[in-house]
Chains A and B, each alone.
Chain A
Amino acid sequence: MAGTAPILALDGVSRSFDDGRIVGVDNVTLDIGRSEVAAVYGPSGSGKSTLLNLMAGLDVPTRGTVAYDGRIVPSAAGWTRLRGERIGIVFQDFNLLPTLTASENIEVAIFGRVSPAAERRRRAAARLAEVGLAHCAARLPRELSGGERRRVGIARALVNDPELLLADEPTANLDSASGAAVANLLLRLPETRRVSLVVVTHDASLLARCARRIRLIDGRVAEDMRTEGAIAA
């Protein structure tokens, strides 16, 4: 199925809240291609997170359609399966379970899909090594720095070997060194893992390294720019 269809195709997508009083996303039409690296930026409240939620099926558009790999996803259960098997999400607020270790936080993402437990643990260990945190497997989130938590979040998003990775402000609230490390890690992935990457950011240095930059203002696409050869590893 990895054919010509874009991995994501949004067609006239809107999402409003409070019976239309609050605009989240307003009439957005765009495609995300395979192995593409797209950055979404814009002022706070411009609808970036809402857009990302719609791309992951975490939220449902009030108007318009979202097609995944050429097909409109018919149900919440369909999106759940996609998130379990083909999409990875790096959340803005880490969203690690506080009572679970780094390894267990990753294992939880493949519960019910990978068994036995030993195999889940093995995969978690491999992803932790991939993000340079092999030594943190047994630590609880509160024992990790912000940058380490972010990287555990990335390892978790990768545990199902996704073809699409969605990341919401992955370098926010990190010091510049950790931010750069996370940016390097993420921008390597389209090449090493052949994933499409959509990253919401207002980090200028991360933005500058993305080949495509989508600017949102008041929920609308104000600018959609492609720069050839912008990726710097």
Chain B
Amino acid sequence: MTWLGFMLRNLLRRPGRSLFTLIGVALAVGSFLVLAGLSRGLSTVAGASLDERSAHLVVMQRGLVEFFSSRLPESFEAELRAVPGVARVAPELGAFLPAGEDHHALVGGWRTDSPFWREMPLLRGRLPAPGEGAVVLGESLAEALQADVGSTVKIGFAPLRVVAISGFNSMLNRGMALMMLEDLQALLARPGEVTLFQIRLTRPGDAAQTEAVRKAIAALRPGIAVVTTDEVARENRTLRIVSGVSRAIALIALAIAALSVLNTLAMAVEERVREIGILAALGWTRRQILALILGEGLILAATGGLGGALLGGFGLSALSRVIVPGGLEASTALVLGALGLAVAVAIGAAGAFYPAFRAARLRPAAALRHD
């Protein structure tokens, strides 16, 4: 019999209890991964999608609770263009709208002359014309809506013709619908308004210039936020709240999982006091007894953690399909899996330590009299 065999034998004595503990750990780790992945995903996707359009700075309203509530007049563009160091300015109107029957999509509106249209990778189809009521779908959004060039999709309950499929890489852009700015303004009944301006600098690597431009723009109007693409998410209070709440729930789930491992092992140690006394009487050292109980905890937790990583992976990809079509990138999935396992092992160690310590401290003679 091996160590592992002995530990497994002990865990399998109470198969139901071990299984429930394992499921508890799996659920905790799974929900931790979903929530952590969600808040991480939400904040990185925004930055990544802006980077992909090679924006350096983003101008929007400051102190927003919700990103899409930023309202700036399109006419502000001229003032921004005049700021020294600004190479180009591209306004964008954004909205989160119902798409198809049961999806939501981020919808962006760009002006006809926007450089984004030219730079957009096009898989098939053509660019929309203003006033046409046409839309370009990101690849994963098209997949989710089961639409292609030539189909009609409902965006914000308005039927729009799909004229092209874009081939962006970042998750957010892949799940986005793009329209002519004036069409989206009409759809939203927000004529002359945009959400943000994306700015390209003449010398993007130059920190001094970046700072100078930020200051100059901020001075143009009160209530303006000028942020780098990484900071966009941080500027958004909803995202921050969602992230914070997610993190708190995730930590509670983990703590409960650790307690359930602790409870299971404490019960097992209590039931096995006499057996632990026998082992000690046979010459098992404290360290060996500690290792046995810790090992049992780690087996429970690691198995649960693997289950949790799977659950989390499924959960995240399902969630990202519903909320933002695009799914998980492979690297993220791996990172989350490894993270899930690490978290589970930490849970196992935390939960197992106290019972293991208690077991190792038992006096053999007293333990042998126990029944």
Contact = CB atoms under 8 A, between A and B. Distances in A.
B184 to A, nearest CB: 69
A58 B6 contact: no
A156 interface: yes
Interface in B1-54: 1-3, 5-6, 9-10, 13
Interface of A is mostly: helix
Interface in A66-112: 77, 80-85, 87, 89, 91, 95, 97, 99-100, 103-104, 107-109, 111-112
A121 interface: yes
Interface string B159-184: 00000000000000000000000000
Given A59-B363, A97-B278, A108-B1, A77 B9 contact: no
B256 interface: no
B9 A89 contact: no
Interface string B192-219: 0000000000000000000000000000
* Size class of the contact patch on chain A: 20 to 34
Nearest to A104: B1
B284 A117 contact: no
B349 to A, nearest CB: 20
A160 B281 contact: no
Given A117-B1, A120-B1, A80 B275 contact: no
Contacts of A85: 283
B285 A95 contact: no
Contacts of A56: 281
Contact of A112 (B285, B363, B364): B285
B368 A58 contact: yes
A80 B1 contact: no
Contact of A91 (B3, B281, B363): B281
B6 A108 contact: yes
A53 interface: yes
A58 B1 contact: no
B359 to A, nearest CB: 14
30 contacts: A58-B280, A58-B363, A80-B280, A80-B283, A80-B285, A82-B283, A83-B281, A83-B282, A84-B283, A84-B284, A84-B285, A87-B283, A89-B281, A89-B282, A95-B278, A95-B281, A99-B10, A99-B13, A100-B1, A100-B6, A103-B1, A104-B1, A107-B1, A108-B6, A108-B282, A109-B283, A111-B6, A117-B1, A117-B2, A121-B1
Given A59-B363, A83-B281, A109-B282, 8 more contacts: A58-B365, A59-B364, A77-B285, A84-B283, A84-B285, A99-B9, A113-B283, A117-B5
8 nearest A-B residue pairs (beta carbon) = A84-B283, A59-B365, A83-B283, A58-B365, A109-B282, A58-B364, A117-B2, A104-B1
